[in-house]
A and B are shown apart, each in its own frame.
Chain A
Amino acid sequence: MFDLTGKCALITGASGGIGAEIAKALHAQGATVGLTGTRVEALEKVAAEIGNERVHILPCNLSDDEALAALPKQAEEAMGSLDVLVNNAGLTRDNLAMRIKDDDWDAVLNVNLTAAFKLSKAVLRGMMKKRWGRIIGITSIVGVTGNPGQTNYAASKAGMIGYSKSLAYEVGSRGITVNCVAPGYIATAMTDELSEDVKSAMLTKIPAGRMGNPEEIAAGVVYLASNEAQYVTGQTLHINGGMAMI
């Protein structure tokens, strides 16, 4: 089950906590992986952990329009094909709505939403021809539930769910599925920033009684990328220890 031999996957934010695990998990199922992010050293470290076969490093700053436009082609040339796109890169610029600066809004929307859509659009052509493709967005529980201090982030993540559903309609007849995975509260650099008070308050809201780990998100991505999930499209898979039951 979930054999990905022969498939080529591009993972954005592969230098981060969740992205690195997604890359490892897809690779472990036999996929060739393209790792992208801005921190080259971090990408190299992840690549070294994966091994020296079927791994490509493709540094790219997603807020740089030119670099973003060039990425899909570079990935296809490096890997020979592009069958699975995982839009995982994301950032936060938290603040109360009344204090959010235009820059904070734009930076978050640009990387989390606009860059993810542009990449999705760019990979469609090859996938349509092959009549097979997987576009997977890493959204967030807060895109569905909202969260104080995260108007920008929640908007970007809700937006991702919205375009994924629309795109799933458009390309469903061509063997391409478009889905999202919505992590709850996962132990990575992103959540490390939170204060101990916030962390312990969060834990009281999680039936599982603990934070999730990146491997648990990666497992959901592997499933959605697989042939076995061919009939799953336009969905959001919530992996959150029961923090929200939607």
Chain B
Amino acid sequence: MSDVAERVKKIVVEHLGVEEAKVTENASFIDDLGADSLDTVELVMAFEEEFGCEIPDDAAEKILTVKDAIDFIEANA
């Protein structure tokens, strides 16, 4: 597992208070991990800080799963 993937998962676990095992790459924040829409906004904020990048709103809207987040960060951070 890449370094980015590990850090993303750690943030998701901490932020949503879910078990690590549930945070698979294909897990959807809202459908599988119990996030509400405000949680997803906060997750994006946390990713921005962790990786020192800016995630524009239109990109943020497409980050629905753990994998989406990892892919975006690997491509842009």
Interface residues, chain A, with chain B CB atoms under 8 Å away: 125, 128-129, 170-171, 173-174
Contact = CB atoms under 8 A, between A and B. Distances in A.
A96 B66 CA distance: 56
In order of increasing CB-CB distance, the 3 nearest A-B pairs are A128-B42, A125-B45, A170-B38
B75 to A, nearest CB: 24
A171 B45 contact: no
A173 B41 CA distance: 14
Interface majority SS (helix, strand, loop, mixed), chain A: helix
Contacts of A170: 38
A171 B45 CA distance: 15
Contacts of B45: 125, 128-129
Contacts of A171: 38
Interface in B44-59: 45
Interface string B30-45: 0000000010011001
Interface residues of B, number: 4
Nearest to A172: B38
A8 B15 CA distance: 26
B33 to A, nearest CB: 17
A128 B45 CA distance: 10
A24 to B, nearest CB: 34
Q: Name, among B38, B42, B45, the residue most crowded by chain A CB atoms within 10 Å (CB to CB).
A: B38
A208 to B, nearest CB: 41
Nearest to A171: B38
A171 B42 CA distance: 11
Contacts of B42: 128
Contacts of A125: 45
Contacts of A128: 41-42, 45
B67 to A, nearest CB: 25
A128 B42 CA distance: 8
B71 to A, nearest CB: 24
B14 to A, nearest CB: 13
A167 to B, nearest CB: 11
B42 to A, nearest CB: 6
A155 B77 CA distance: 44
A171 B36 CA distance: 12
Nearest to B36: A173
A137 B45 CA distance: 26
A170 to B, nearest CB: 6
Contacts of A129: 45
A170 B42 CA distance: 13
Contacts of B41: 128
Nearest to A128: B42
9 contacts: A125-B45, A128-B41, A128-B42, A128-B45, A129-B45, A170-B38, A171-B38, A173-B38, A174-B38
A31 B41 CA distance: 29
